[in-house]
Amino acid sequence: MNLIPRVIALTDNLRLAEESSQHPEQYKEWYHFCILGRDVEVVFNLSVMRDNRPAAAPGSRLARLILLVHNGSWDGDVVEIPWREIELNPGRIDLRFGHNHLRFADGVYQVSIALETRPITLDLTIRPTTHPLMRSRAPIGFGAIDWLVVPRLEADGVLVCGRQVHRLKSAAAYHDHNWGHWLWGQDFAWEWGFALPNLAGTPWSLVFDRVTNRARSQVQELKLSLWKHDRLVRIFAHQEITTLPQGYLSQAHVPKFPRIMALIAPELTTDVPRSLEIAATSGPDHLNICFESKDLAQLILPNETDLGETIINEVVGMIHANGMLKGEAVGFEGKGFFEFLT
Amino acid sequence: MNFLPENPTTAEFIQASLQALGAECPQSYQHICSLLTGRDLRIEMEGEEPIGLRFQAQQITLLPVNELTAGSRLCLRSSWQTVLDLVDARLSLLVAVYTGRLDLIGESGELILLYDAILMYLRGGVRTFAFPLLLDELRNAKEQKPLAAL
């Protein structure tokens, strides 16, 4: 019997746990997915948060939909959906954002998104093939974040981007779900990424997360998690891991979303490394990862603490992984997304 | 409900946006005032009457250009199509300046202050509820339609 759908239904439900902290006004929650197609990559994210704009009524909420498509260049948008068009079902995975929806039924995530601002539509079923990993109350800024990650799924469906139609069949996919209390602009940064092998038959999947202060001088959270087939088999943590960023990714054009933020943060330079080497060692077990950044887009969020911005670099790249785990050789080449928050 | 009349003038748009900024993000409005206190700015949008803005410690006032201080040399010259191209990232600020689609005229130190003030206006704008609506109305009124759509 396949337990994964039951585990997902029980663990990946919408929390809306605003009152679980003394700062309900800082609440945020989102569902995030990445799809790695043969010739296209997709990132989409449905988020709800307390609206902390200066003129927002106390207790009001804000919903955002992000859809980014990368097929040589980037397209997509960040769209605010009026709250009256939002339908949420806490305890379930069933969200309606206007005409867009995400739900989990019959063992699969069902997603339908159509941007009104760009000619992009996405209709997918996404089947989880690995068990999730959950983390509670990880420190972030002055608050805490809970997360659940499903490192590997398979996506089927259709993406239409302008005049291009991409039919996705068993495309590798990744999902995480985050909820917690903090403010954009507080003293934190993260590097968060996943890698999936190019060959579907390769059993390994991995997720890396590193949360630091904004200056990246103090590490608050550092983990490298490895799955074999559907099971989590190893977590390396903190002192077992060293990271070595090399160089900087240089691009003549840095797409920024929402587009208006290009006026506020027009810089073409980033502090995204050209490559990130991660070495994990614990006794006889060791794993070496090299993420080579290939292309990036920036999501730019207005800070809630001041009039500045937080930039999330969404970076697509190639992964080389090799090592030894419980006497078994681990090795694969693959693709993934890393986020570098600055 | 619309913020702007059907075919808004530059003065009407600037007035409405500053009013929204003052009401919804006063921190940004005040910062602009403090950056440009004591200065006048002439705004020339293609095909429209130029307008003037006077920056005081607490307030930004629209005024006819013939009332601008004689010594004031700050000037912004552009077109609404350029503004919309910038907003939609079809054009970068750098390219707009290099290609003469956006002229900022003044002494270098004054231009740095003006640029910081424009950034502050935008930073406040993205935190308001009114700006996206104002932009939609502006887009409907000013955006050049492709020939095929006419």
Q: Nearest CB to A260: which of B25, B94, B126?
A: B126
* Phi, psi (deg, nearest 5) at residue A264: -85, -35
CA atoms within 13 A on the CB side of B37: 7
Q: How many angstroms separate the CA atoms of A86 and A51, rounded? A: 14
Cis peptide preceding B146, ω within 30 of 0: no
Strand A61-71 to strand A41-50: parallel, antiparallel, or no bridges (unpaired)? antiparallel
Helix ranges, chain A (H): 4-11, 261-264
ipTM above 0.90, yes or no: yes
Residues of chain A with C-beta less than 8 angstroms from the C-beta of B87: 259-260, 263
Residues of chain A with C-beta less than 8 angstroms from the C-beta of B89: 255-256, 259-260, 262
**pLDDT digit string (tens) for chain A, length 342 residues:** 689 999 999 999 999 999 999 999 999 999 999 999 999 999 999 999 999 999 999 999 999 999 999 999 999 999 999 999 999 999 999 999 999 999 999 999 999 999 999 999 999 999 999 999 999 999 999 999 999 999 999 999 999 999 999 999 999 999 999 999 999 999 999 999 999 999 999 999 999 999 999 999 999 999 999 999 999 999 999 999 999 999 999 999 999 999 999 999 999 999 999 999 999 999 999 999 999 999 999 999 999 999 999 999 999 999 999 999 999 999 999 999 999 998
Of the candidate ranges A292-301, B16-25, B135-144, the one whose mean pLDDT is the lowest = B135-144
Q: How many angstroms separate the CA atoms of A304 and A50, rounded? A: 11
* Phi, psi (deg, nearest 5) at residue A96: -120, 120
Task: Compare all CA atoms of chain A with the CA of B127 and give the residue at the minimum distance.
Answer: A53
Taking the model in full, what pTM does it have? 0.95
Q: Nearest CB to B89: which of A262, A307, A308?
A: A262
The answer to whether A266 contacts B93, with C-beta atoms less than 8 Å apart, is yes
Residue B148 has pLDDT above 60, yes or no: no
Output DSSP code: residue B101. Answer: S
Cα end-to-end distance, chain B, whole Å: 26
The answer to whether A307 contacts B120, with C-beta atoms less than 8 Å apart, is yes
Using CA atoms, how far residue A61 sits from A18, A44, A164, A194, B89, in Å, is 11, 20, 35, 30, 28
Q: Is the dihedral of CA B34, B35, B41, B45 positive or negative?
A: negative
